[in-house]
Amino acid sequence: MDLSLSDKHRALREEVRAFIRQHGHKSPKLGGGRKRPDEKALDWQKLLVDHGYVARTIPREFGGYGAEPDVMEAAVIAAEFAAAGVYAGLTNQGISMLVPTLLEVGTDAQKKQWIEKTIRGDVIWCQGYSEPGSGSDLASLQTRGVLQDGHFVINGQKIWTSSAHYADMMFLLCRTEPDKPKHEGISYLLLSMKTPGLEVRPLRTMTGRAEFNEVFFTDVRVPEEQIVLGRGKGWYVANVTLKHERSMIGDAGKLTQRLEQIIALLKSTEIDGTKLIAMAEYRDRLLRLQGEMLAWKAHSLRLLTEAAQGIDSGVKRMIIKYGGTMLGFRLASLAVDALGAAGLPFESQGEDAEDDDATTWNIDYMYDVGLMIGGGSNNIQKNIISERGLDLPREPKVART
């Protein structure tokens, strides 16, 4: 047990700090909606790529920095960017999911064609997975892809495609082998969002914002060679992708930041002249959450170390999404209660703009409810934890009666 850094990592930290001192002023603002990265953001992203502060372990031939994998380096970099409050680079599904997937199962041509453009932010991807009829049961998806004269002709509908309204490309799961068992009938295709017959409609959520879209396919033609790994391999590819999905959810750093904001809120807010921090229930809820956060932070340090040591953390990792979502919701709940009646005015400026604190907290509060549902609902997560993590039996097949 030693929480101090090695010389190598201390050196990296100095390097990053120097970089931030020199270039930090070029960083775009943090947060601020979920619009397409602007000029400033793209210049910054390219600067980070060139210095290896993003895409650090991606081979040079595909436009990366070509460093050896070292999660501790990644952690040091992340910590410094967070501490300095400068933008740590684009986080989109192309970078976090498609790129690692292509690196693992893509053809050399596909890697050459897409990886560099994607990590530099010149190509933005969206994910075409969920469908209205297949929420938790993703493998039951029905969007069809029929091979005709060298093209897959796509018909159907996708939902929850977050960045579809400004993305250039989509990685899509569709059913190309309807006669095969459901997991073996799916293919993974790459297609341009400009392909004729593809229509994007914004999907408004309870937050009042259109954080997602629906995408409708009418005879959308995708060249045969834009398939990844091959026909019927889509489910396998999707799981490679999911394996790489960096769980932003349950991120201890972000949760800790939330806790700090709440402490400030409880110290500044009053009811009839009494600070909330001096009122029993508010304070006691804060204390409980502080205790749980200490456990959560320590746990993530442990996971970081195991990752650095190349250990598969198993169930210790599988609990992050479920536990983190619930913890996040309870943090947001306390914030909403601390704002109280004064926090009820609600005018979201839409997904591309800054909102006031109260609106932001209310959106977080509702968005966390969304997280319990989307991205593998809590029930799915608990199945994963108990079945894969604790080796409990899968749900028995239901007798068709």
Contacts with its own copies in 244-283 (CB under 8 A)? Answer: 280-281, 283
Query: Using the rule CB under 8 A, is 284 a contact of its own copies?
Result: yes
Query: How many chain residues interact with its own copies (CB under 8 A)?
Result: 10
Looking at residues 187 to 246 of the shown chain, list those that interact with other proteins (rule: CB under 8 A): 203-206, 208, 212
To the nearest whole angstrom, how small is the minimum distance from the Cβ of residue 396 to its own copies?
A: 4
To the nearest whole angstrom, how small is the minimum distance from the Cβ of residue 145 to other proteins?
A: 23
Query: Using the rule CB under 8 A, is 400 a contact of its own copies?
Result: yes
| Owner of token pair 């026909």 | 231
Query: Using the rule CB under 8 A, is 396 a contact of its own copies?
Result: yes
Query: Using the rule CB under 8 A, is 398 a contact of its own copies?
Result: yes
Check if the beta carbon of residue 189 is closer than 8 Å to that of residue 255: no
Partner from other proteins, its own copies, none contacting 230, C-beta within 5 to 8 A by type: none
Query: Using the rule CB under 8 A, is 4 a contact of other proteins?
Result: yes
To the nearest whole angstrom, how small is the minimum distance from the Cβ of residue 194 to other proteins?
A: 26
To the nearest whole angstrom, how small is the minimum distance from the Cβ of residue 256 to other proteins?
A: 14
Of 350, 146, 41, 101, the residue nearest 242 (C-alpha): 101
User: Residue 335 — φ and ψ, nearest 5°?
Assistant: -60, -45
Tokens of 282: 């508010």
Active site residue 245: yes
Partner from other proteins, its own copies, none contacting 299, C-beta within 5 to 8 A by type: other proteins
For CA atoms 222, 226, 230, 232, the dihedral sign is: negative
What radius of gyration, in Å, describes the C-alpha atoms of the chain? Answer: 22
Which range touches other proteins (CB under 8 A), out of 109-117, 128-136, 168-176, 183-191?
128-136
Query: Using the rule CB under 8 A, is 393 a contact of its own copies?
Result: no
Ordered DSSP codes for 37-67: --HHHHHHHHHHHHHTSSSTTS-GGGTS--P
Query: Using the rule CB under 8 A, is 399 a contact of its own copies?
Result: yes
How many residues does this entry show for the chain? 401
| Owner of token pair 């060298």 | 150
Query: Using the rule CB under 8 A, is 397 a contact of its own copies?
Result: yes
Helix axes 252-268, 280-308, angle to 10 degrees: 160
- Give how far the C-alpha of residue 291 lies from the chain's centroid of Cα atoms, to the nearest Å: 26
> Catalytic one among 15, 177, 184, 245?
245
| Owner of token pair 């993974």 | 188
- The residues annotated as belonging to the active site are 245
